[in-house]
Amino acid sequence: MLRRRVIPCLDVADGRVVKGTRFVDLVDEGDPPELAERYAREGADELVFLDITAAPERRGTLLDIVERTARRAFIPLTVGGGVRTVTEMRDVLRAGADKVSLNTAAVAEPDLVSRCARRFGRQAVVVAIDALRGPGRDGAASGWTVVVKGGRELTGLDAVEWAAQAVELGAGELLVTSIDRDGTGAGFDTDLLRAITDRVGVPVIASGGAAGPADFVAAVRDGGADAVLAASIFHRRIHSIASVKAVMAAAGLPVRLVPEAVA
Amino acid sequence: MTGPDGARPLIAVVDYGAGNLVSMEQGLTASGAEVAIARDAAGLTGADAVVVPGVGAAAPAMRRLDGRGLTGPILDWIAADRPFLGVCLGLQLLFEGSDEDDASTFGILPGRTRRLEDAPTLPHIGWNQVTRLREHPLFDGIADAADFYFVHSYAGVPGTADDAAALAMTEHGRPFVSAVARGNLLGVQFHPERSGEDGLRLLANFVSIVRAAARPRVGLAS
């Protein structure tokens, strides 16, 4: 049976893992490949790197850390942040990533999703959707609006409609972040997740709001998510991947248990 | 890391523009092999084994293999029962054709690559259990029904009841063949290079199979 995945997300800037409130007060947290290897050993099913490097000319550093990570952590790696062209996606995949996640660029240029899917297969294309409760300019019927540029810019797009359109364009997976919940520890927005998982047939990764293992269970059971992503609760060692998975397993969810995992 | 008998067999990993080769190269190297990336027929020269990785659709993959003059040499390689491992799309190509785009593929194994119709989600992305139909050295030291990482929407469906090559099955909506073995011809639908410890163990087992099959090249017909 297909396992529900637990995915740690690493924010990367200028080749280092950083943490902070998404784009401000960044604190250096270490070498990405090293942390990636640790998470792989502890039972992570997959990894996401979110590149928040400000200066485009320093993006070569990202390719270097992707390659070093692929050589140390033998689990799948998704890279997001700042990929705007088919060529940039090709470079990231060649460096050793398995999937690339498109966010702002996909909203600005939906055809990019189709071109990337045609070139690399839809399984390599993740569309990341940052959703905010409340209507957009045109009034989002579902109750959630898409925001871009790291949550700073409101679009007129309905989040559920955009999810369906992204899949039609060629997305093989959706990474859905609740901007209302992100960084709050108030739990995932399971209504948002359910609205999207009821609508699309591709796997959905839940993101934004995890405080503890019970939230992971809710994202899957109530939200219908295939995978659950979190950052700070793992980085700050508030919970281990093994302990989250143990709670998910006890709740009857299929998870991959790593016997030698360090709790 | 050097193998038990010290020999590092040379494995040609075929590059036909289908994405990430870094993890495959690294996985095989960590498993005791020497890896050469093969972009044309000459790239197979001197190799002890061939690995065809890859994700995506069959038709463009066949076009790229044809365009690089690799299809013929790969078919000859398999016909000579030399060690071969197809991964994901590399396994699907062994069947006769694909429903994905009506591509004609190698036709070495009976059956077609079909969409996983009754699946709750597609693509089939994530870790799933690989249940063995019989024992095989490729899975030495790996528990039955161990989890491996998959990412695909289509999978091989053996065409006849005589699917002696089927080695393991996995279920996503419907059961499908997740590993095949016939002589030195091996294929897996999952990604061992992305499947953690068990994945590396499988690659090391493949390297052992290659080592056992490697013979002095004396009298080899050209």
Give residue A28's pLDDT band: very low, low, confident or very high (50, 70, 90). Answer: confident
Chain A residues whose CB is inside 8 A of the B19 CB are 93-94, 98, 120, 124
- Closest Cα of chain B to A175: distance in Å? 13
Which residues on adjacent β-strands are paired with residue B157? B112
Domain ranges of chain A: 5-250
Catalytic residue numbers of B read 88, 191, 193
Q: What sign does the CA torsion over A94, A97, A99, A104 have?
A: negative
- Closest Cα of chain A to B128: distance in Å? 5
Inside any domain, residue B208: yes
User: A93 — contact with chain B (CB < 8 Å)?
Assistant: yes
B123 and A202 within 8 Å at the Cβ level: the answer is yes
pTM: predicted TM-score of the whole model, two decimal places: 0.93
Domain count, chain B: 1
Structure confidence by residue, pLDDT tens digits, A175-192: 999 999 998 899 999 999
- Closest Cα of chain A to B146: distance in Å? 9
Instruction: Show which of residues 109-168 on chain B sit within 8 Å of chain A, judged by CB atoms.
Output: 120-129, 147, 149, 151-153
User: B22 — contact with chain A (CB < 8 Å)?
Assistant: yes
Residue A16 · residue A29 · CB < 8 Å: yes
Chain A residues whose CB is inside 8 A of the B172 CB are 2
Q: Which domain holds residue B91?
A: 10-213
Return the closest-CA partner of residue A203 out of A187, A224, A182, A222. A224
User: B57 — contact with chain A (CB < 8 Å)?
Assistant: yes
Where do runs of H (alpha helix) occur along chain B? 22-30, 58-67, 71-79, 89-92, 196-213
For A259, nearest residue in chain B (alpha carbons): B197
In three state form, how does the secondary structure of B121-153 look? CCCEEEEEEEEECCCCHHHCCCCCCEEEEEEEC
Instruction: Show which of residues 231-260 on chain A sit within 8 Å of chain B, judged by CB atoms.
Output: 256, 258
Q: Which residue has the tokens 């396994």?
A: B91
Which of A74, A75, A121 has its CB closest to that of B55?
A121
Inside any domain, residue B2: no
Return the closest-CA partner of residue A92 out of A74, A77, A114, A103. A77
Q: Which of A11, A51, A182, A189 is catalytic?
A: A11
Chain A residues whose CB is inside 8 A of the B101 CB are none
Return the closest-CA partner of residue B29 out of B200, B189, B215, B149. B200
Inside any domain, residue B147: yes
CATH of the domain spanning A5-250, picked from 3.30.530.20, 3.40.718.10, 3.20.20.70, 1.20.80.10: 3.20.20.70
Inside any domain, residue B218: no
| Residue B147's CATH number | 3.40.50.880
Q: Is A50 helix (H, G, I), strand (E, B) or coil?
A: strand
Pairs of CB atoms within 8 A across A/B: 102
Mean pLDDT of A224-253: 95
> pLDDT digit of tens for each residue in chain B (222 aa)?
444 455 899 999 999 876 679 999 999 999 999 999 999 999 999 999 999 998 777 888 999 999 999 999 999 999 999 999 999 999 999 999 999 889 999 999 998 999 998 999 999 999 999 999 999 999 999 999 999 999 999 998 876 655 789 999 999 998 999 999 999 999 999 999 999 999 999 999 999 999 999 855 554 544
Mean pLDDT of chain A: 90
Q: Is A124 helix (H, G, I), strand (E, B) or coil?
A: helix
Q: What is the ipTM of this complex?
A: 0.93
A70 and B23 within 8 Å at the Cβ level: the answer is yes
End-to-end Cα, chain A, rounded Å: 24
Q: How far is CA A4 from the centre of its chain?
A: 14
